Amino acid sequence: MSFKKHSSILNKNKTSLLQFQEELSSILQKYKITNKNIKYSHNSNGDIQCFCCEIQGTLFDLYSQKHNSDLSYEKIYEDYKYSPRTRENYFQIYSRRYIGSKHKLLSWIFSIITKECSGNSFADIFAGTGIVAAEASKTYKKIIANDFLYSNYAIYKAFFENTEYNYVKIKSIIDSYNSINSQYLADNYFSHNFGNKFFSNNDAKKIGFIRDNIETNKLNLTDKEYHILVGSLIYSIDKIANTVGHFDAYIKKASIKDSFLLKQIDPFPIDDISIYRQDANLLARSISADVVYIDPPYNSRQYSRFYHILENLTKWDKPKLYGVALKPESENMSDYCRTNAKSKFAELIRDLQAKYIVVSYNNTYKSKSNSSKNKISLDDIKNILKNKGSTKIFEKGYRYFTTGNTDFQNHKEYLFVTKVQNDKRS
């Protein structure tokens, strides 16, 4: 069981230490925290600071919210142990760079979900990397995974779908691709557009050749084999891309080293899974689950634009490209990255058929960068969820992955757990 220190500061009101201790005592009693686990001090500004090693979130947050009857701030022990799969020379589902990935937060998230929620079915309707759905499959019998991006949909099919594939055949195909000397390959769509920019020209030629060959031989592959090869290619190019972690731009260099190696993903079938590529708001009207997990994009950065090369490689319809970053015309643009995000979120929550709704959120609305600022505020989330049922809020300090110059001070990750009222279960 892991315990982390959390601090709370009673800001600049010169409240006496004795008075603060007395006012906080009711909260400490409620959460069964003994005085021996609390340490008080004054910081350099004269503010009162207290430390606790037992409670998730800050004591001052609890202090300031103690009269709020609509929302409940709870402590949580991180006693759920996330053990990521490993297999030498294979990609696991978490083995790629992705903005907003919850890989490092899974122990915390599932410590909360396993305590607060019950049931047999779990839906992740903004599934992203797929790692939350993958972890949920260890506990829940029925899984639903959905994402708007073609590349993510292909990845779920490759990892999760419980259909036939020939392991020896896949290995043989990948070995044959890796034996190709790219210097003897002709230029192609991929190298013409992305060579000497996002990849070396030789690597780009090889990537384009492999993708063409997979498509040419699609009829000789099962659906699972096809998606394993496409998924392996997605993970392999992400590993060597000349970027800071997404494809909104490339790093300008005099030369890029040849480094491409096609490495296979490590599939793990889920017995009962439904995979979708739909608008989450539309999907919400046609599915139901005991637990629905929601982690939408919250700022103006469109994932279909950030990962346009992965989308292009997956669809392989070779569109005309524009601009310095070689992007196709816009498609799959999320309303959650626009000014109407709040109304779309409210619509989604209204239409969901679930016993529990779990929402991930972070406070990047305080960002100095306009593109990083959230379109939905923390208060918006609170007010929308409390109308659906009783809601608990958990928080955790977290270093946010940013690929730009934005400095996220005091960044926190929030998890809302709403127990839906019976008459609000659509």
Give me the pLDDT at residue 338, please.
77
Nearest partner of 420 among 346, 344, 347, 350, judged by Cα: 350
pLDDT band of residue 368 (cuts 50, 70, 90) is low
> CA 231: distance to chain centroid?
18
Collapsing DSSP to helix, strand or coil, 261 comes out as coil
pLDDT of residue 22: 59
Q: How confident is the model at residue 107 (pLDDT cuts 50, 70, 90)?
A: very high
pLDDT of 87 over the 80 cut: yes
Domain boundaries, the chain: 6-67, 103-160+269-300+338-424, 163-266+302-323
What's the pLDDT score for residue 334? 73
With H, G, I as helix, E, B as strand and everything else as coil, classify residue 40.
strand
Segments of 322-420 assigned E as strands? 354-362, 389-397, 412-420
pLDDT at residue 96 in the model: 94
DSSP per-residue letters across 223-234: HHHHHHHHHHHH
Sign of the Cα pseudo-torsion (112, 96, 313, 267, in order): negative
Would you mind telling me the total number of residues written for the chain in this entry?
426
What is the enclosing helix (H) or strand (E) of 113?
helix 106-116
Predicted confidence at residue 336, as pLDDT, reads 74
Look at residue 34 in the predicted model and tell me its pLDDT.
53
Provide mean pLDDT across the span 135-154: 97
State the DSSP H helix or E strand holding residue 173, giving kind and residue range, or none if neither: helix 167-178
pLDDT at residue 214 greater than cutoff 80: yes
Confidence label for 67 from pLDDT (cuts 50, 70 and 90)? very low
Q: In the numeric block, which tokens belong to residue 150?
A: 């073609």
Q: What is the mean pLDDT of residues 159-168?
A: 96
For residues 183-197, average pLDDT:
97
Band of pLDDT at residue 104, cut at 50, 70 and 90: very high
pLDDT tops 60 at residue 57: no
- Among the residue ranges 10-19, 154-163, 179-188, 260-269, the one predicted with the least confidence is 10-19
How far apart are the two ends of the chain, measured CA to CA in Å? Answer: 38
Q: What's the pLDDT score for residue 195? A: 96
> Does the pLDDT of residue 58 top 70, yes or no?
no
The residue that leads in pLDDT, 410 or 338, is 338
Highest mean pLDDT among 43-57, 108-122, 246-260, 331-345: 108-122
Q: Is 119 exposed, middle or buried (0-12, 13-18, 19+ CB in 10 A)?
A: middle
86: pLDDT strictly greater than 70: yes
pLDDT for res 90: 97
What pTM was computed for the model?
A: 0.79
In single-letter form, the type of residue at position 75 comes to K
Residue from 99, 144, 150 nearest 332 by CA: 150
Q: Are 291 and 352 in contact (CB under 8 A)?
A: no
Token reading at 148:
């708007």
Averaged pLDDT, 328-343 = 79
Q: What is the mean pLDDT of residues 277-292?
A: 97
Q: What pLDDT score does 129 carry?
A: 95
Nearest by Cα to 206 from 227, 176, 231: 176
CATH code for residues 103-160+269-300+338-424: 3.40.50.150
pLDDT tops 70 at residue 205: yes
- Predicted local distance difference test score (pLDDT) of residue 23: 58
- pLDDT tens digits for 258-277? 999 999 999 999 999 999 99
Sheet holding 389-397, edge to edge: 71-73, 389-397, 412-420, 354-362, 289-294, 121-124, 142-146, 273-276
Q: Do the Cβ atoms of 131 and 94 come closer than 8 Å?
A: yes
Average pLDDT (140-155) is: 97
